[in-house]
Amino acid sequence: MAIDVLIVSLASTGGWRTSDPELASAMVRAGARVAIVTAKPQRDVRTYALTDLVWARAARAAARRGLEEHDPRAIVYSSTTAALLWPTPGAIRFDMLARDNRAGRDGLWQRPLERRRLAQSPLLVPMTPEQPGLCVPIAVEPSGDAIPPAQRDIAAITYAADPVKRRLDLVLAAWEAVRRDGEQLVVAGIDRPDRGGVRFAGLLAPGEYRALLRRARVFVAAPRREDYGIAALEALADGCVVATTPASGPYPALGLVRTLDPRLVTDDLPAAIRTGLDDPPPDWPRRALAALAPFRRAAVDRVVAAELLPRLLS
């Protein structure tokens, strides 16, 4: 049976695995018939250029399968990598472009091909307004009933599935510098031996991870560059005070946190952590959720129904 929209999902990160079904659900709520096809998991390879190649080939295979099975009126490639070797043009949804995060040899073949794909695409769908096209953010909602800050039993939490990109060593050093007896940092997304004041929770199911967020007082982040930063937005939604270093890239949570309390955005990460633990901004959970209004499901649904689907299906 023919459908309205086929989403080709790279599903190479937790963020994509969360955001693509959320986008599909928003389209369904607007009355569209939607299917998702997912690129098969790929082995780790040595360079970014080769990594993008193996994932682009997997996305092409998924797209061909989806086109044969569903005969869609429109197709959305989720990420520019998914679109690089597309079998047919379609809309491109993206957080960052290879021209911005694949410098030098890392993007030797991707950047020129990306330029062609962007020019050929009937619609660009960035996640942040700094990029060209129709901005459709990832919808973020609280994961459950809010726990008052005084009742939260985890001092701090961080997400480090990519420890180099997340600068986990910097986070751990900052924590070691300021932690007090009885305080614990939970590190999600990576498995290592526990150490004093640090518990490594490993790779968790989304529900398990969000449950930890609801119990944590402070979410610690230290990216040098952040393409989007869904983990920080989820932390805000679940009432965590976010302590973060400044970072280049869109990183929408950065601006939200800086507006809520500029003390929490600083290169002095130990100081930001202690601010979050000892002197958190008053009424933080309510104010953080209010700041997230443009990223809430209702706001994203309005954009999808009023702008995205009409442009995809016209």
* Pair 221, 245: CB distance under 8 Å: yes
- Strand duo 241-244 + 34-38: pairing: unpaired
pLDDT at 1: 66
Chain mean pLDDT for the chain: 95
Please check the confidence at residue 41 and state whether its pLDDT lies above 70: yes
Average pLDDT value for residue range 230-259: 96
Which H/E stretch holds residue 100?
helix 98-101
Residue type at 278?
D
Please state, in angstroms and rounded to a whole number, the distance separating the CA atoms of residues 3 and 125: 20
pLDDT of res. 2: 85
Measured CA to CA, the distance from residue 158 to residue 268 in angstroms comes to 16
Determine the Cα–Cα distance for residues 264 and 271; give it in Å rounded to an integer.
8
DSSP 146: P
Q: What is the pLDDT of residues 108-129, one digit of tens each?
A: 999 999 999 999 999 999 999 8
What is the pTM for the complete model shown?
A: 0.90
Angstrom distances, CA of residue 273 to CA of 2, 93, 138, 212, 279: 52, 34, 27, 18, 10
Residue closest to 282 by CA, chosen among 304, 261, 255, 311: 261
Half-sphere exposure of 183 (CA within 13 A, CB side): 18
Residue 14's pLDDT band, with cuts at 50, 70 and 90, is confident
The tens digit of pLDDT for each residue in 169-227 reads: 999 999 999 999 999 999 999 999 999 999 999 999 999 999 999 999 999 999 999 98
Most confident among 18-22, 32-36, 146-150 (mean pLDDT): 32-36
Measured distance CA(271)–CA(267) in Å, rounded: 9
**Token pair 């989304």: residue:** 206
pLDDT of residue 12: 84
Q: What is the pLDDT of residue 11?
A: 85
Three state DSSP letters for 161-204: CCCCCCCHHHHHHHHHHHCCCCCCEEEECCCCCCECCEEEEECC
State percent of the chain over pLDDT 90.
90
Q: Given a cut of 80, is residue 152 above it in pLDDT?
A: yes
Split at pLDDT 50, 70, 90, the class of 131 is: confident
Tell me what the mean pLDDT of segment 134-150 comes to. Answer: 93
Where does the pLDDT of residue 146 fall: very low under 50, low under 70, confident under 90, or very high at 90 and above? confident
What is the share, in percent, of the chain residues with pLDDT greater than 70?
100
Classified as helix, coil or strand, 28 is: helix
For residue 179, what pLDDT is reported?
Answer: 97
Give yes or no for a contact between 62 and 37, defined as CB atoms under 8 angstroms apart: yes
| Amino acid, res. 191 | D
